[in-house]
């Protein structure tokens, strides 16, 4: 994907350079980021390099900057009066880099629908579905562990499509935006989804994830066609190696979504009730002409590891516990057991 120019201009050199480094290291940032610590150097650069976004401090903003060919100017505020700058959106300088960039991308996504991106042809994104017709199978623990371990070497995005993910309670984090906002934004067709996506995505260590929807109705209200279109948009315009779909049973057109997956992991138990549910699920696949899903589904019996911690430490406990050992062995076997 061709990356457009994002300039950060702040007279405080350490701040501008630190923010540039953070953005350039951030996975799937859809921009090439440059830092400037003087207005003169910024103007010289912009003469030959059109800027799509300029994030500039109030102290650096001047009439010459207003005349530059910039797609979107956003003011970096220290909390002072923004008199004469009311026409521009602003973000507060002294907050976490994650929150600051989320706000920048939020402003940009809504305000810049005209920019057309070229689909990325450099990577083949693999889509893994994690689903089970059996309740309390441990699939989310498995999915998060799998995501964290894959993210040690690859760029991975985790998307939870369950009605009740429990993320707010498990991790004690409530994002400014979540999956519901992304779906709503996509429906409005007011801008490029990839930029809105970068305003929403958060991270567990190296694993990127979209905060799940809070309301079950937000999940039920999305059609299968919308889910598939949303997924394809991410595949086309983001550079993830793997997308993990943690699927619940109430997702519309569940079988069609499973058909689009390159691989499906299905946690199972060996008791007669669980086996009966799996047989019913497989029979329905055949009836609905989705028998191919069975060919790419791997049934797995998971270790029942119950973490003693909550929050982000819980995931690390899974990664380095029985679940992590199980996942690493699973991946080793799938890679041919070499190395």
Q: What is the pLDDT of residues 265-316, one digit of tens each?
A: 999 999 999 999 999 999 999 999 999 999 999 999 999 877 777 777 888 8
Q: What is the pLDDT of residue 338?
A: 59
Domain C-terminal end among 111, 142, 172: 111
Q: What is the pLDDT of residue 139?
A: 93
Could you tell me if residue 118 is inside a domain? Answer: no
Q: What is the pLDDT of residue 174?
A: 64
How far, in Å, CA of 160 to CA of 209, rounded?
8
CATH classification of the domain holding 316: 3.40.50.300
Q: Are residues 106 and 180 in the same domain?
A: no
For 176, other C-beta atoms within 10 Å of its C-beta total: 13
Q: Are residues 106 and 146 in the same domain?
A: no
How far, in Å, CA of 273 to CA of 137, rounded?
13
SS3 of the chain: helix, strand, coil, percent, to 5: 40, 20, 40
Here the tokens at position 135 are 């309740």
Q: What is the pLDDT of residue 267?
A: 95
Q: Are residues 154 and 82 in the same domain?
A: no
Q: What is the pLDDT of residues 259-279, one digit of tens each?
A: 999 999 999 999 999 999 999
Q: How many domains does the chain have?
A: 2
Q: Are residues 173 and 271 in the same domain?
A: yes
Here the tokens at position 13 are 């050199």
Domain C-terminal end among 111, 138, 170: 111
Q: What is the pLDDT of residue 36?
A: 94
Report which of 280, 117, 98 is spatially closest to residue 193, judged by C-alpha positions. 117
Q: What is the pLDDT of residue 191?
A: 62
Q: Are residues 106 and 147 in the same domain?
A: no
The b-or-e profile of 183-202 (16+ CB within 10 A means b, else e) is: bebbeeeebbbbbbbbbbbb
CATH classification of the domain holding 23: 3.40.50.2300
Q: Are residues 160 and 217 in the same domain?
A: yes
Q: Are residues 183 and 312 in the same domain?
A: yes
56 Cβ partners below 8 Å, 6+ apart? 7, 8, 9, 10, 42, 65, 73, 74, 75, 76
Q: What is the pLDDT of residue 2?
A: 59
Mean pLDDT for back-to-back runs of 10 residues, the chain (339 residues) = 82 91 75 91 91 92 90 89 85 86 82 52 83 92 96 94 85 76 80 78 88 88 92 86 94 94 95 94 93 94 80 86 95 80
Domain C-terminal end among 111, 139, 167: 111
Q: Are residues 167 and 251 in the same domain?
A: yes
Residue 139 structural domain:
126-334
Q: Are residues 30 and 161 in the same domain?
A: no
Q: Are residues 86 and 137 in the same domain?
A: no
Q: Are residues 309 and 243 in the same domain?
A: yes
Q: Are residues 320 and 181 in the same domain?
A: yes
Q: Does residue 154 sit in helix, strand or coil?
A: coil
Q: What is the pLDDT of residue 86?
A: 86
Q: What is the pLDDT of residue 25?
A: 76
Q: What is the DSSP letter of 153?
A: T
């Amino acid at each position: 994907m061709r990356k457009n120019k994002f300039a950060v201009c702040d007279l405080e050199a350490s701040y501008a350079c630190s923010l540039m480094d953070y953005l350039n290291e951030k996975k799937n940032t859809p921009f090439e980021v440059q830092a400037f610590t003087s207005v003169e150097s910024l103007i010289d650069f912009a003469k030959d390099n059109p800027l799509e976004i300029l994030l500039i401090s109030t102290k650096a903003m001047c009439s010459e900057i207003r005349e530059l060919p910039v797609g979107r100017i956003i003011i970096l505020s220290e909390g002072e009066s923004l008199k004469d700058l009311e026409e521009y959106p602003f973000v507060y300088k002294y907050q976490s880099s994650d929150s600051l960039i989320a706000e920048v991308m939020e402003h940009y996504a809504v305000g810049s629908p005209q920019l057309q991106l070229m689909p990325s042809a450099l990577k083949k994104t693999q889509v893994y579905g994690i689903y089970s017709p059996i309740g309390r199978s441990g699939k989310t623990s498995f999915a998060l562990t799998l995501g964290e371990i894959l993210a040690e070497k690859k760029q991975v995005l985790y998307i939870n499509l369950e009605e009740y993910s429990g993320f707010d309670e498990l991790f004690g984090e409530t994002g400014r935006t979540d999956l519901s906002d992304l779906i709503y934004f996509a429906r409005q067709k007011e801008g490029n989804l990839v930029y809105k996506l970068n305003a929403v995505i958060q991270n567990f260590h190296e694993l990127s994830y979209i905060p799940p929807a809070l309301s079950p109705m937000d999940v039920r209200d999305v059609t299968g066609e919308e889910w598939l279109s949303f997924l394809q948009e991410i595949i086309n315009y983001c550079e993830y190696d793997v997308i993990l779909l943690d699927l619940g049973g109430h997702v519309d057109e569940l079988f069609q979504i499973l058909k689009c997956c390159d691989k499906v992991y299905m946690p199972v138990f060996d008791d007669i009730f669980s086996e009966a549910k799996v047989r019913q699920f497989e029979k329905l696949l055949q009836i609905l002409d989705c028998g191919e899903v069975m060919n790419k589904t791997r049934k797995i019996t998971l270790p029942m590891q119950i973490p003693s911690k909550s929050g982000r430490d819980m995931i690390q406990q899974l990664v380095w516990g029985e679940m992590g050992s199980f996942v690493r062995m699973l991946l080793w076997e799938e890679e041919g057991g070499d190395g």
